[in-house]
Amino acid sequence: MAAINAVGYDADLQSPSNSPLRAAVRRWVVAKAPPSLAELRRFYLDHRQTDPVAELSQYVDFALSVDEPPEFRWRYRQQDLAPDVQALDGLQGLLAKFYQEADIEGAWHQSQPAIDEAIARYHRPVVDALTRVNAYLRSSNSQQLGARFQIYVELLAAPNQVQTHSFRNDYFVLVTPSPDSQIDSVRHAYLHFMLDPLPVRHADALEKKRGLIDYAQTAPFLEDYYKKDFPRLANECLIKAVEARLAPSSARQGLVDQALRQGFIMTPAWADALVLYEKQEQGFRFFFPSLIEAIDLKHEERRLDNIQFATERPAPKIRLAEHPVEPVGPQKTLEDAERMYFADPPDLANAKAGYQRVLSGTEDKKLQAKACYGLARVALRENDADAAEKLFAKTLEFEPDSQVKAWTDVYLGRLASAAGEPQRAIQRYQAALAVEGASDKARQAAREGIEKASGRHQ
């Protein structure tokens, strides 16, 4: 941030909402007169964006993709980097020189009082907001194994912005100076962190409600990516419904209606279903399939038939930029293979090839487990029970997440039962039931398997 401020990043420079630290660091760099500035300026101008929010966003992505100074090495393999980060390749060496020449470490140490003061302003409100979310979901971020949620308060950026950036399972929130509270935006990002995995995990059940996306197509101010991506639209509607339920009772219906008029057409359906969730005791992620089931398509179609979308876009005081990094490398290959596997009709040959590329092309144990699990399911579709059993067994040798692990045990139980080994089948089904975080559907399949295998065993 010190580097780009020194070579042309002047967005909202005259705003009274800027932190005084931004001007102080700019003066610091001018006084040091680092020789690398000319080369940095050329690089900056070559990668300039017309939208100042997008311009900041690409450098935030870069900063989250490199390790700490003074080397600024890539944290990930280069083929796994987001496209906007790959476009900034070469900046690492320039930053390394600038860091030394401008004594950025010295500026960093002198900046700590201002940074600590800004963080302190957010600490208690953020803790309170996130604690309320955890209480409502009957969960905690500690249950998001292998993932993290981190907030950065960036005082050298243009004011009045909140940016969210996601890399696989990691979510980062960047807040910049603002006279107004940005806690609602931070909470919104945290809800994404907590809830984003659910539509993916229950894609089959959610797919049955896909017809509702047609009603969103004429919403004038709804972003196109929501109109094309039903799980993403459904999840955003769910988050808005949860936010409404967390609001004072007098404001809830107004927030639901506002979201609906903006084009988030499933918000009322989720809000109604959340009332059912609140009356029972299961955690949110376990009850989520019941939320989906509670959505009555005919009822929602009647509700949406005469919808009147907003004709004016509200002017927000805060610039929001949600920037999920599209999957690249093995993650994208895996997602493409999954789409081919679930296609109608399935493209098993290309799905199999995709799973094999992931298995041999990454050292990420969780991705390897998912790829191996995919190959096992393909083998089942091809009626090769022996190969399927070996591949399911190999899946458990990696580091499968709870969903893959539970379903792998279920499949192994079914294979054992089909082979006339009911006792071994029961053991596998019991292993599936013991997996913490297994879906209700996997648990139900395991219980049904035990019942059938027990009958045969007797």
**pLDDT given at position 30:** 97
φ and ψ at residue 113, rounded to 5 degrees: -60, -45
Res 450: pLDDT: 93
The percent of residues above 70 in pLDDT, for the chain, comes to 94
Q: Which of 295, 283, 128, 129 is nearest to 205 (CA)?
A: 295
Q: Give the confidence band of 439 by pLDDT, cuts at 50, 70, 90.
A: confident
Is a pLDDT exceeding 60 seen at residue 324? Answer: no
Is 60 exceeded by the pLDDT of residue 223?
A: yes
What is the residue-wise DSSP string for 156-167?
A: TSPSSEEEEEEE
Instruction: Cite the beta strand spans of 379-423 per DSSP E.
Output: none
pLDDT band for position 370 (cuts 50, 70, 90): very high
398 and 448 housed in the same domain: yes
Does 316 have pLDDT greater than 60?
Answer: no
Residue 344 has pLDDT above 80, yes or no: no
> Do 156 and 237 reside in the same domain of the chain?
no
Residue 396 has pLDDT above 80, yes or no: yes
Same-domain status, 48 and 80: yes
Give me the mean pLDDT over the 258-287 stretch.
Answer: 96
User: Is there a single domain that holds both residue 37 and residue 170?
Assistant: yes
Q: Assess whether pLDDT exceeds 90 at residue 143.
A: no
Q: Three-state SS for 170?
A: strand
Residue 382 belongs to domain spanning: 329-457
Contact 95, 114 (CB under 8 A): no
Assess whether 9 and 129 both reside in one domain.
Answer: yes
My answer on whether 350 and 307 are in the same domain is no
Pair 378, 285 in one domain: no
Domain assignment present for residue 62? The answer is: yes
161 and 269 housed in the same domain: no
What confidence tens digit (pLDDT) does each residue in 9-32 have?
999 999 999 999 999 999 999 999
Is the pLDDT at 169 greater than 80, yes or no?
Answer: no
The backbone torsions φ and ψ at residue 174, rounded to the nearest 5 degrees and listed phi first, read -110, 120
Last residue of a domain, one of 175, 205, 235: 175
Q: Which of 366, 419, 427, 356 is nearest to 397 (CA)?
A: 366
Q: Does residue 315 or residue 389 have the better pLDDT?
A: 389
pLDDT higher than 80, residue 234: yes
Specify if 258 maps to a domain.
yes
Inside any domain, residue 189: no
What pLDDT, on the 0 to 100 scale, is given for residue 141? Answer: 63
Mean pLDDT of the chain: 90
Which pLDDT band, with edges at 50, 70 and 90, does 379 fall under? very high
Rounded distance, CA 188 to CA 109, Å? 32
Instruction: Indicate the pLDDT class of residue 441, thresholds 50, 70 and 90.
Output: confident
Last residue of a domain, one of 292, 324, 356: 324
Q: Which range is least confidently modeled, 82-96, 143-157, 313-327?
A: 313-327
Considering the domain architecture, whether residues 12 and 161 belong to the same structural domain is answered as yes
Domain assignment present for 187: no
Whether pLDDT at 67 is above 80: yes
Residue range 49-62: mean pLDDT, rounded: 91
Q: What is the mean pLDDT of residues 396-406?
A: 90
For the ranges 138-147, 237-246, 248-257, which has the lowest average pLDDT?
Answer: 138-147
Count of domains forming the chain: 3
**CATH number (domain holding residue 337):** 1.25.40.10
List Cβ<8 Å contacts ≥24 apart for 348-353: 348/378, 348/381, 348/382, 351/378, 352/378
Once rounded to an integer, what is the mean pLDDT over residues 300-313? 90
For residues 334 and 320, state if they share a domain.
Answer: no
Helices 249-262 & 230-246 angle (0-180, nearest 10) = 160
190 is a domain residue: no
Whether residue 186 lies inside any domain: the answer is no
pLDDT at 300: 96
**What number is the average pLDDT over the span 411-422?**
94
b/e map 210-223, b = 16+ CB within 10 Å: eebbebbeebeebe
30 and 152 in a single domain? The answer is yes
Residue 231 · residue 253 · CB < 8 Å: no
**Average of pLDDT values for 380-398?**
94
The verdict on residue 407 lying in a domain is yes
Residues 216-223: what's their mean pLDDT?
A: 94
6 and 138 share one domain: yes
Asked whether residue 248 is assigned to any structural domain, the reply reads yes
Last residue of a domain, one of 324, 349, 372: 324
Q: How confident is the model at residue 394 (pLDDT cuts 50, 70, 90)?
A: very high
Structure-derived torsion over alpha carbons of residues 289, 334, 320, 110, reported in degrees to the nearest 10: 120
Across-strand partners of 149?
A: 171
pLDDT of residue 144: 59
